[in-house]
Structure formats: structure tokens, C-alpha cells
């Protein structure tokens, strides 16, 4: 899977996902640190990358309807420390069929995963 990891997530996440076989870019690695959300989103879309973030700017499912983008995962943990984020997202990618999430809108919490597929609009 082609992935873009936002700057609000641990750098170790990109390394962990790469070790799992994913093609991962990061916002800091591309010199986009501090850029507005629309610039980050546009960069992910140009490259056909699934965006992983904590940024609630992407949480409006009407604006980011499934099937209108390459995929968005928003991590919403109760205590979103580096280790918790790394552990939870790594666990999700290790246990779920994430390759089926292309074009989907995904919310990951401490105990749940909600996947909205393009057909669910």
C-alpha cells in the first residue's frame, strides 16, 4: 500500500509500516512540515497515497467522502502518546486487510475501527 504519514504521528510509524512492506512517505521527509492540511491532502492525492493522521480537519465525511480520495485513516486515541499511536496503528495494519481500504474513510480508536467504503456514501 502507498501511504503518507502525517507529521502529527511518530516517525517510527513510517519505519514500522515500511518494514511491513508498505511504500511510506512522511510529511517531514517531503519538506511539508507546517503546511496547511489542504496542501498535505493534495500531496497525498497527487501521489495516490493513503493518508494516516490525527488531524480532525479531515473528519468531515461529506468533504472527504469515500471514493473521492486515495484513503484517509484518522487515529483518535484517548491517550495519543507516541507509543500508544505506534502500537495501535501497527496492530491495525498487522491484523486487518488494509489493502481493501484504498479510497475508504477510516477512524481508528482505542478499541474500534470504523471503515466507510465508497459504496457506503
Say what the pLDDT of residue 30 is: 87
What range defines the domain where residue 66 resides?
Answer: 2-120
Encode the chain in three state secondary structure.
Answer: CEEEECCCCCHHHHHHHHHCCCEEEECHHHCCCCCCHHHHHHHHHHCCCEEEECCHHHCCCCCCCCCCCCCEEEEECCCCCHHHHHHHHHHHHHHCCHHHHCCCEEEEECCCEEEECHHHC
The total number of structural domains that make up the chain: 1
pTM (2 d.p.)? 0.94
- 21-42 pLDDT, tens digit per residue, is 999 999 999 888 999 989 999 9
Whichever domain contains 53, its CATH number is: 3.40.50
- 70-121 pLDDT, tens digit per residue, is 999 999 999 999 999 999 999 999 999 999 999 999 999 999 999 999 975 4
- 40-59 pLDDT, tens digit per residue, is 999 999 999 999 999 999 99
**Separation of alpha carbons 121 and 112, rounded Å:** 20
Say what the pLDDT of residue 120 is: 58
- 7-18 pLDDT, tens digit per residue, is 999 999 999 999
Amino acid at each position: 500500500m502507498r501511504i503518507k504519514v502525517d507529521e502529527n504521528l511518530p516517525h517510527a510509524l513510517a519505519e514500522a509500516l515500511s518494514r511491513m512492506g508498505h511504500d511510506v512517505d512522511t510529511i517531514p521527509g517531503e519538506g511539508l512540515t507546517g503546511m496547511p492540511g489542504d496542501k498535505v491532502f493534495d500531496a497525498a492525492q497527487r501521489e495516490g497515497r493513503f493518508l494516516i493522521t490525527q488531524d480532525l480537519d479531515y473528519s468531515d465525511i461529506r468533504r472527504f467522502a469515500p471514493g473521492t480520495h486515495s484513503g484517509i485513516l484518522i487515529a483518535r486515541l484517548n491517550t495519543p502518546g507516541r507509543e500508544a499511536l505506534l502500537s495501535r496503528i501497527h496492530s491495525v495494519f498487522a491484523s486487518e486487510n488494509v489493502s481493501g481500504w484504498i479510497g475508504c474513510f477510516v477512524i481508528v480508536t482505542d478499541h474500534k475501527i470504523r471503515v466507510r467504503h465508497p459504496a457506503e456514501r
